[in-house]
Amino acid sequence: MTVLQIVKALAGEEDINWGDSDTTFTRQTRNGGTTSIHYVDSKSIPANTLGGVIDTHLHAQNTDTGTTAGTFTIDSDADSAILSTAGLSTDRTFTFPNTQTTQQLIGATDLAGTSASQGASLVGIRDTAGNYTNTTVEGALSEIATSVAAILLPYGYKRGFVLDFVTTGTISLTRGIWHHSGTTDQMVYSASSISYNPSGLSGTQMQYIYLDDSAIVSSGSQVITSSQITNSTTAPSYSNTKFGWYNGNDRCIGHLVIVAGLIMKFRVVSDNFYAYYTITDLYSGSNAPTAATSFDISANVPAFCTRCRIAITNATDGNNFIFSIGGAWPIGNGITMGKANAVQSIEIELDTDQTFEWSADTASATNLRLLGVYMGDL
């Protein structure tokens, strides 16, 4: 038998029949008989790996809905992008945007960044009222800052910081907020009431309480504590540019009367009347003036005071007294003594130099005593 006859006997009348190897077909043998053999397909043709067949390596459409892998790599042979589930504590769904042809992905680092083209410059704003020209948070903030800078401070504003007597060496100040035109124009305020111990007290003197500009600058804060308060015997003067009473850059917020080196007890009532606990004698004489006479009490009242309350005692029943600012000013307040040696009080206005003019109908024994002062518009 030749080689050709042997091959033919093995292959039959057909060299190859393609089909599904799981099924068979019938072919003729060399001697005229038939036999059933399997079709040849990818399951039966050897592959290029040991023990494998082509079917093992054929690609089929992947219909899986998920994977247990924690990462997925795109473009693994170059500068790849890796999707990672690291850090997730539960399932998360990410939906692709459907708003434009291309959509750039912005990471958390970019959104939190403060350099150009990052952070607030990436975040848009909804401004249906059209209040801003810019459409990003950064742009809108810039517009707001410009608008705020153009707002004038309430120059001269004051609220609170009312002085209160605690002991002969200590006062307290209520919470307050004042405009301070010092090294910096700003509003300063206290977060709570302040306890303050004035220094350098001696003899009989007038002490002024100030917001200490240098201490405020050093603190770098608008919050006032006892460290940003100071006192001085130097009287303040009114500043038309700062809208308040100042000693240099220190704004005056009140005064104290010192007697024998101690703070004289006082109380400030709601209409800014500063009531003295110890009555101060201003005048004691046997003959009150019957013509308008100037009287200076600048040593007894603060520089910013233009009104005070005094008590009068006179030896003549029905004696009339007149008090006025003086000069060409019209008559001020008058009072009639209802009973000899009785005590009556009256509020009188002072000139800018803390003087007033007074006179009586009858030149009889008279006492004038200071009950307190109005602190004026500090």
> CB neighbours of 74 closer than 8 A, spacing ≥ 6?
80, 81, 82, 83
* Rounded (5°) CA angle 241-242-248: 110
> Mapping DSSP to helix (H, G, I), strand (E, B) and coil, where does residue 28 land?
strand
Residue-wise pLDDT tens digits, 241-251: 999 999 999 99
Predicted pLDDT of residue 95? 85
Distance of CA 65 to the CA centre of its chain: 52
The domain spans of the chain are 3-50, 108-149, 160-268, 278-374
Are 249 and 227 contacting, i.e. CB atoms less than 8 angstroms apart? Answer: no
pLDDT (tens digit per residue) in 285-312: 999 999 999 999 999 999 999 899 999 9
- For 278-374, CATH gives 2.60.120.1300
Place of tokens 């060409």: 328
User: Per-residue confidence at 12, pLDDT binned at 50, 70, 90?
Assistant: very low
Chain centroid to CA 288: 60
Going by C-beta distance under 8 Å and a sequence separation of 6 or more, which residues neighbour residue 332?
322, 323, 324, 325, 348, 349, 356
The yes-or-no verdict on residue 11 having pLDDT over 90 is no
Q: DSSP string spanning 65-77?
A: ---S-SEEEESTT
Condensed to tens digits (0 to 9), the pLDDT of residues 66-122 reads 888 889 888 888 889 888 999 899 999 988 878 778 877 888 888 888 888 888 888
pLDDT digits (tens, 9 = 90+) for 325-377: 877 676 678 899 988 888 999 999 998 889 999 999 999 999 999 999 998 77
- Tokens standing for 354? 């803390």
